[in-house]
Amino acid sequence: EHLDHFREAMGVMQHHDAVTGTEKQLVANDYARLLYKSMSHAGEMISEAVGKWSGLANEPSVKVFTCLELNISSCAFSEQNDMFIVVVYNPLSRPVSTYVRLPVKENSYSVLSLNDDGLFQDMQMVPIPERVQKIPGRLSNAVNEVVFRVENIPALGLKFYAVAKQSREEIIEQS
Amino acid sequence: EPAEFISSELYNISINDDGNLIVRWNKQNNMNLVQSFHFYEGAEGPIVEELHHTINEWVSQVVRIYPEEEHIEFDWLVGPIPAKDKVGKEIVTRYSSNLKTDNVFYTDSNGREMLKRVRNYRPTWDLELKEPISGNYYPVTSKISIKDEEKQLKLSVLNDRAQGGSSLQDGAVELMIHRRLLKDDAFGVNEALNETAFGEGLVARGTHYLFGGKVKNVDKFVLKEKELALKLALHPWILGVSFDWNSIDNMR
């Protein structure tokens, strides 16, 4: 049922104006609305799929969040949580390596790979340019981005990382 | 009167309170200029090195290189394009190189094969362009390339969204990244391309990958480019998972 929203939106998007972007402004706005709605519905499907793959499907408190504004360095989920898991999904049919950039509010974070032994991942804090922070309508307090490399995500597969608002030393001390 | 100034019959040059140099034309009251120094913020680290490059109040970019990648990433940010001067603007970013390209460049055909484009030329008729810039613009869905056949060098720009692109000078490629036009172009839509949000012109942010070098093995080079283009178009999804955990050990 949730996928039907996407199917219908993709049906509408076959129109030549949608493909080439030659539609009128009001129509463009409507296309954006259709796609946004479809993506919100897809969030529930993704949530179920990630729950199944991670073995946490029966945990009622597991919730998956999509960050649709990462292109403007904004993500309410990574900004508001002090400890969270990041799932990286590869939609391609062969393995890829990529860099993850997560907008955050503070200066000190750690990243652990949950794919093997929970090892600390090399990461870097990078400031978000001031002009990006001032984009009109950007509702975000993030001033930095946590950047790390994700090696060899399997074809159509996932990798899991834990991110905590604690330094590596603090985590080691607690453990 | 500023303490520090020099002047001649033509110019009056002084330094204002902000430390900027002001040049005034004595014979043209309405002409002046400010010369100032700026700096680009840089960030260096083991994962990424980046340069924050501000061009003006509405154009800036972050240029990134990664030790484990062969491309350069240009993360451009354009807007809101000012329109108070009543001039519609189409913003392009141009990559100019020293390659000898003999009027030839290549653009992809909706992400499929690369099509050869020749500046001011159409293969089936004698061309006389009334609009020499737009007449040489082609759709670029994922890649625009130029080649120096003699040196066997190739330069490609991969884009994250469909844009218009061209090579208006030898060795250069350009892509149109944003526009704000105040009049309809009379090609059918019957409205000006003037999107606004929050009472201002739209701000657009996007990415270009610049990839180039010696083409020793064509197959290998093309494969690398294809992989990069796919990675940009179908970027891995980043999802957040929340759960009732209270420590990192629990999370593990």
Question: Residue A169: which pLDDT band, with cuts at 50, 70 and 90?
Answer: confident
What is the strand order of the sheet B104-108 is part of? B41-43, B49-56, B59-65, B72-78, B204-214, B153-159, B143-148, B104-108, B114-118
Contact yes or no for A58/B216 (Cβ under 8 A):
no
Question: Residue B39: which pLDDT band, with cuts at 50, 70 and 90?
Answer: low
For residue B218, what is the enclosing H or E element?
helix B218-233
Determine contact: A144 vs chain B, CB below 8 A. Answer: no
Cβ separation A56–B66 shorter than 8 A: no
Nearest CB to A126: which of B48, B195, B205? B48
Structure tokens at B200: 């201002």
Question: Residue B114: which pLDDT band, with cuts at 50, 70 and 90?
Answer: very high
Question: Residue B16: which pLDDT band, with cuts at 50, 70 and 90?
Answer: confident
Q: CA B248 to CA A11: how far, in whole Å?
A: 44
Chain-centroid distance, C-alpha B172? 12
Cβ separation B241–A102 shorter than 8 A: no
Pairing outcome for strands B59-65 and B72-78 = antiparallel
Per-residue pLDDT at B73: 92
Torsion of the alpha carbons at B83, B89, B95 and B101, rounded to the nearest 10: -170
- State the average pLDDT over residues B99-128: 93
- State the average pLDDT over residues B47-74: 89
Give the long-range contacts of residues B145-148, CB within 8 A, separation 24 or more: B145/B105, B145/B106, B145/B107, B145/B114, B145/B173, B146/B97, B146/B99, B146/B101, B146/B104, B146/B105, B146/B106, B146/B171, B146/B172, B146/B173, B147/B99, B147/B101, B147/B104, B147/B106, B147/B215, B148/B99, B148/B100, B148/B101
* Lowest pLDDT segment from A139-148, B35-44, B149-158, B169-178: B35-44
* Lowest pLDDT segment from A117-126, B20-29, B166-175: B20-29
Residues 201-220 of B with CB under 8 A from A: 203, 205-206
Nearest CB to A96: which of B48, B52, B236? B236
Cβ separation A62–B203 shorter than 8 A: no
- On the question of pLDDT at B30 being above 70, the answer is no
What's the mean pLDDT when you consider all of chain A?
Answer: 88
Give B77's contacts in chain A (Cβ within 8 Å).
129, 131-132, 135
Per-residue pLDDT at B2: 54
Determine contact: B186 vs chain A, CB below 8 A. Answer: no
Determine contact: A59 vs chain B, CB below 8 A. Answer: yes
The 8-class DSSP code of residue B29 comes to: T
Four-residue CA torsion sign, A130, A135, A140, A146 = negative
Pairing outcome for strands B204-214 and B138-140 = unpaired
Question: Residue B111: which pLDDT band, with cuts at 50, 70 and 90?
Answer: confident
Share of chain B above pLDDT 90, in %: 44
Residue B225 dihedral angles phi and psi, to the nearest 5° = -60, -40
- On the question of pLDDT at B21 being above 80, the answer is no
Determine contact: A84 vs chain B, CB below 8 A. Answer: yes
A110: β partners: A164
Cβ separation A153–B236 shorter than 8 A: yes
What's the mean pLDDT when you consider all of chain B?
Answer: 86
Determine contact: A81 vs chain B, CB below 8 A. Answer: yes
ipTM of the complex: 0.89
Residues 138-157 of B with CB under 8 A from A: 139
Greater confidence (B164 vs A62) lies with B164
